[in-house]
Amino acid sequence: MLTRLIIIILLPILSYSQNWNIATQFPYTGVHHPITFSYDNYGFVISGSNTDNTFRYDKNTDTWTQLANFPGGDRGYAYGVAKDDRAYMGFGSDPSGNFPNDWWEYDITNDSWSQLASFPGAGRNHPAMVVVGNSVFVGCGSNTSNLNDWWEYNISTDVWTQKPDLPGNTRHHPFYFSIDDFAYVGFGHGSSTGPGSNPSTGVYIFNDFYRYNPASSNWTQLANFPSESRVAGTQFSFNGKGYIISGDGEDHSPLDEGEFWEYNPTNDSWNQLPSHPGDAIWAPGCFVLDCEIYFLLGQNTSTFPASYPLNIYSYKLSQDCGCTDSSAVNYSSIATIDDGSCCYIAGCTDPYAINFNAQACFDDGSCILPILGCTNSTATNYNPNANTNTANGGAIDNTFSTGGYFNGNQHLIFNSSENCVISSAKFYADVNTSVTFELRNQNGTVIDDTTHFVLSGEQRLDLNFEVPVGNNLQLGVSANNSGLYRNNSGAIFPYDIGGILSITGSSASSPGYYYFYYDIEVKVPCLNSTSAVEMKNQRKIIEAIDFLGREINQNSKKIKIIKFNDGTYQKQLIIGH
């Protein structure tokens, strides 16, 4: 534990970027075990979850295009790698549970397929597969049992040759990558006790790691991985180092977070980098464009039911890439590769700041956060520190992580330090239906509510909830079957709104859930500008009645209607002593 803590403290010095960003979204159906690779400014996603689709991402235009289907038919647990303008792929299993041994070449520039010499060994799911030189190396995996054989495919001659087996246990779903003239393989899921496996879990997940030298056909065992044993993540190599991301831990359940590790072959060591946003993901994919890794797809088994994330996250690996145009506001004097990021408008890019500039593509540090309060100096509740009487907050939309339409009855929890009004919020509905939205106190008693007929899709709805000062207040719905969207991971509490309202969590038993209310608009109305003395003299309470018209004590803590001598009425609730 101490060693890991020291590594984390040193990371700001060792790494170029500390931030993952949402790069884009996958516009099609999510899959696990996608085949992913890159070429030029394009990223590719092929197959996965027993499909035969081929998709291409264009970084320059931030668009996806569907291409010619994989001709091997629907396939799951298949693998592939790219070499220059060609990609090679096969293996996996079909929907009938067969393990094909066909082998295919994809011409990236012409979007065409050619069948090559079939693999002469046994077909299998999720093997290791790497390119070294002009050869593709394949090994391990599983069919009716786990395997540790190792094969070389010569791209020039279209010939397969068996090589020495991987030392140690048989296994499937290992991590792997190539660096310079070597292949690296390790970890994974085996059939018996092995390095790093925890006997109390009932499964055998390893942490051993090996290097293969194609020139000598020799294996070398390296240092074991310094953290929890793992399986079923994704991997890549970049600039002389290897990287592994996410996956399952020693009990074959998700890691506590989407861990990201860097391997340095010069001293056989691992450094931990910032975890990707959201939950750890089983069987995801990734590709590298310029100096950024794009992490995508897979299955989130931390949710119930398991879900398929569509957000694509990117992480900058090196300062070699950047804007090389000296006239741009984000010009990098040390960048040697222009990554298309040049920006010519600087400003505040925080959408919740009061000076947000929607045209700005580079944040210049000028953002002014909202301080909610009455800005009318003649009002009785004037706040000289306030810079706005309206602010938005909470999750800005539902794209920050995985989720779905939900028919349960859950809510957000928040604190309010000043009387205010929740004017409106954004909602996403599955179907057209009637929903009653509720503001409740900490005990679940309804303070205010309103009913809307919601339409399928995104909409902003007026709420006009009068919020008292209080803690652990609730924003929810009145009953099950609302069909409203909620995120089931990735929420980062608290969400501050103008310094007076803070969304602290949700009613879910697991962290990261965010329910129903997005981009919440909050206002602080300015009270009558007449002085407090004049108001006392001019406006007096005649009576207080409950919602059944019965007269009650004016100081009652129940919800009541106050009638004034000027003919006006006010709904009122006293919170606290």
Phi and psi based region of residue 40 (left: phi greater than 0; alpha: psi -120 to 50; beta: remaining): left
Digit-by-digit pLDDT tens for the chain (577 residues) are 333 333 333 333 333 335 898 888 898 999 999 999 999 999 999 999 999 999 999 998 889 999 999 999 999 999 999 999 999 999 999 999 999 999 999 999 999 999 999 999 999 999 999 999 999 999 999 999 999 999 999 999 999 999 999 999 999 999 999 999 999 999 999 999 999 999 999 999 999 999 999 999 999 999 999 999 999 999 999 999 999 999 999 999 999 999 999 999 999 999 999 999 989 999 999 999 999 999 999 999 998 889 999 999 999 999 888 899 999 999 999 998 888 889 999 999 999 999 999 999 999 999 999 999 999 999 999 999 999 999 999 999 998 887 889 999 999 999 999 999 999 999 999 999 999 999 999 999 999 999 999 999 999 999 999 999 999 999 999 999 899 999 988 899 999 999 999 999 999 988 889 999 999 999 999 997 544 444 444 566 777 776 556 677 766 666 667 776 666 666 665 555 4
User: What residue spans define the domains of the chain?
Assistant: 17-318, 390-523, 540-572
CA pair distance 301, 57, nearest whole angstrom:
26
Question: Among the residues of 527-568, which ranges form H helices?
Answer: 532-538
DSSP at 208: -
Q: Examine domains 17-318 and 390-523 and report if their fold is the same.
A: no
Sheet containing 285-289, strands listed edge to edge, beginning at the edge strand earlier in sequence:
20-25, 311-316, 292-296, 285-289
The secondary structure element, H or E, covering residue 14 is helix 2-14
CATH no., domain 17-318: 2.120.10.80
187: Cα separation from own chain's centroid: 25
Q: Which residue has the tokens 């011409």?
A: 107
Residue among 516, 496, 307 nearest 398 (CA): 516
**Pairing state between β 337-338 and 321-322:** parallel
**Pairing state between β 514-515 and 362-363:** unpaired
Give the number of other Cβ atoms within 10 Å of residue 32's Cβ. 21
Residues 237-254, buried b or exposed e (16+ Cβ, 10 A)?
A: bbeebbbbbbbbbbebeb
The three-state secondary structure class of 327 is: coil
pTM value?
0.70
Q: Which two tokens stand for residue 306?
A: 């398991």
CATH superfamily of 390-523: PHR domain (2.60.120.820)
> Any long-range contacts for 194-201 (C-beta under 8 Å, 24+ apart)?
194/168, 194/169, 195/168, 195/169, 195/224, 195/229, 196/224, 196/225, 196/229, 196/250, 197/229, 197/250, 198/229, 198/250, 198/251, 201/250, 201/251, 201/252
Binning the chain into helix, strand and coil, the percentages to the nearest 5 are 5, 45, 50
